[in-house]
Structure formats: C-alpha cells, structure tokens
Structure 1
Amino acid sequence: MMRTMDQPSLTSVQVPVTIRDLRRADLPACGWSGSALHVKHIGHALDRAAAGEADYLALCPPSGLPIAVGGVDFAPRADAGTLWQLSVHPALRSCGLGTLLVQALEDRARARGRGWAVLGVEDTNPRARALYERLGYEPYGSEPAAWDQEEADGSVRRYETVCTLLRKPLS
C-alpha cells in the first residue's frame, strides 16, 4: 500500500536521558516548570539539598538541559521520603519521563534508609494521580495545601487546594 502525503505516519524516536542532581546553573532552563517564583522556590530547594535535607534531580537528554525535575524531602518524616515539585516538560509528557523521575527519587529515599515514599497530588490533577497509582502508590488521606503563585501580571496570590496523600512502601 502506498502512503500519500496527507496520511500521517507514526515514528518512534528514542533519546537517552541522564538522571543527575539539579544544579543552580540549570535554573534558567527550568522556566517551563512554572513561573519565575516557582523557579525561585526550586533554588531554595537546592539550598536544602546542599544542606543534606533533600535531593533534587533533573532528567536531561544529551543537550544537558533539564526536561523533568523533582525532589525528595527527608525532613518531614523520619520513615519516609516526601516527593515534591515533580514536573515534566509539557511537550514531553506521557513519554515515561515521570516514571523515571519518580523511580530515581524513590531510589534516593531507599538509599537513605527510608521505608516509604509519600507525596500529595492535587485533587484537580487526575492524570498525575493515575501515574502514581500505576507506580504502586495508594491513597491514605487528604489535606489542604497552599502556596504562593505568581500571576501573569507579576502579582502574587495565595493558591489553595486539596491534595490526596499517597504512599508506597520501598521494599
């Protein structure tokens, strides 16, 4: 059968990625993950990582630019690593990068002797919740959450939401 120019063709491309600690020099390339205020919060997370309270990772293709980022916080619970600020470049979602990121963060928590990985997912984000449940996370509660969010005009407002709490044993 001949394919005409108006028929789409499906092509698969595999690109290697590395998983490494996010560096302060990477922050300008992380604007896709949120507002300037969000990137500033990632910078604070890097300060906490330098102090040993957290790890913050980047997934990078050969260019070395982050295409997925996220952290695991060791301070909130002695028995668990708390995954937070997980983000995959919007153009690359549903390519398996979120799975790789979560697994790498779980490995970091496991290496610190934590028996659990925990996270909160906004109730308005069923796609992320479905990913976490596919990876073995189970709901165990919910809680209100809030953070400052930068608006398009540069103003900052308090964003409030409800998060479902999920956990997974790291056996």
Structure 2
Amino acid sequence: MTEVVVPLTVRDLTDADLAACGWYGTATDLAYVAEAIQRARRGEVDYLAVCPPSDLPVAVGGVDYTKPPGGATIWQLSVQAELRSCGIGSVLIGALEQLARGRGLSWVELGVDDSMSRPRALYERLGYVVSGSEIGSWDQEAADGSTVRYEARITLLRKQLT
C-alpha cells in the first residue's frame, strides 16, 4: 500500500467557497453555512475550511462563541465523504479548539446525534467526554424538495482546553 501525504491549509470559509461545497448537503444546508459566514463577519463565530493545494474546501466547521456561557460550541462539522477517516476532521477540530483557546475560553462543547457512532468515536479519541444530553430538532430538506422536521437525541461532549 502506498501512502500519499497532501499538505492542508486551514483558513476562513468565504462566500466564494460555497459553490465548491456542494458535497456539504442540500441547498438548505448550504444556506446555514452562508449564514454562519455572515455571523463570522460579526465576530460571533469563526467558520473554517480545510483545503488541499487546490484551495477548494474538503472540510468545514465552526465554533460559536455565543453559547454556552463560559465556553464555546463547535458545530456544523463536515468532511467530504470520500476523504473521511484521513485525519482531516481532527485537523479541523484542532484549529477550532485553538481559536477558542485564543479567545481565553477554557472549554468547548459539541453535540452528536446518538445514531452517529463514528463521529462520536472521533470526538472521544480527541478528549471529549459526555457532559449531558438533549433532544435536538432541525428542518431538513427531503429528496422531493419539501421540508421535514428531524428530531434526535443529542449527546453533549465537552473538552477542557489546556
């Protein structure tokens, strides 16, 4: 087996990047990302892209400084499906943690749908521990273009930043 090492750059996601983020999901999903970019301009969040030499995003995600009090929430994490399990998600999360640390925060939190064991295993490997649970709900675009309300039990995981 041959190993290929590709350098990655972590930078702010921009409006110009959205056209290259079709892998992220539906038009509704991308509208949430566009909204996050606007919030980043206001300083409420940081929203990052991980890019190979092509400078096209292969992973995106953010850190929200408006909640919870005393910490920050890492959210909207996604890695292009074909590139999952290559360490790119770990690079993204590490960069988001560093930004929170730079704001003087001592911990970050994220939530994971209980039906998604693979991302949860990554977060736990990165030092996140269960801090609670909640019911989450959001609108999702169905294949026919209609909107469906999705509900799930969310496990909250927290990490102390040192």
Q: TM-score range by the shorter chain?
A: over 0.9
Please tell me the root mean square deviation across aligned C-alpha atoms, in Å: 0.7
Aligned ranges for residues 61-72 of structure 1 at < 5 Å? 61-72=52-63
SS state at 1:128 partner: helix
Pair 1:73 & 2:77 matched: no
Pair 1:42 & 2:33 matched: yes
SS state at 2:148 partner: strand
Q: Which has the larger radius of gyration?
A: 1
Pair 1:128 & 2:119 matched: yes
Amino acid at match of 1:35: T
Amino acid at match of 1:106: E
Over residues 110-166 of structure 1, what are the superposed CA-to-partner deviations in whole Å (9 max), with x where a residue is unaligned?
A: 011111010000000100000000000000110000111011111111111111000
Over residues 87-129 of structure 1, what are the superposed CA-to-partner deviations in whole Å (9 max), with x where a residue is unaligned?
A: 0000000000010000000001001111101000000010000
SS state at 1:71 partner: strand
TM-score w.r.t. the length of structure 2 is: 0.98
Count of residues paired in the alignment: 162
Pair 1:140 & 2:131 matched: yes
Contact 1:78/1:114 (<8 A) preserved: no
SS state at 1:63 partner: coil
Pair 1:102 & 2:98 matched: no
For 2:21 and 2:71, how far apart are their aligned partners in 1?
27
Pair 1:59 & 2:50 matched: yes
For 2:28 and 2:88, how far apart are their aligned partners in 1?
24
Identify the residue that residue 115 of structure 1 maps to in structure 2. 106
For 1:57 and 1:91, how far apart are their aligned partners in 2?
19
Task: Give the Å deviation of 1:79.
Answer: 1.5
Any unmatched runs of 5+ in structure 1?
1-9
Contact 1:69/1:87 (<8 A) preserved: yes
Identify the residue that residue 158 of structure 2 maps to in structure 1. 167
Identity in percent: 57
Amino acid at match of 1:49: A
Task: Give the Å deviation of 1:77.
Answer: 2.3
Any unmatched runs of 5+ in structure 2?
none
TM-score w.r.t. the length of structure 1 is: 0.93
Amino acid at match of 2:113: E
Out of 3, 26, 32, the residue aligned to residue 12 of structure 1 is: 3
Out of 117, 141, 144, the residue aligned to residue 153 of structure 1 is: 144
Pair 1:82 & 2:85 matched: no
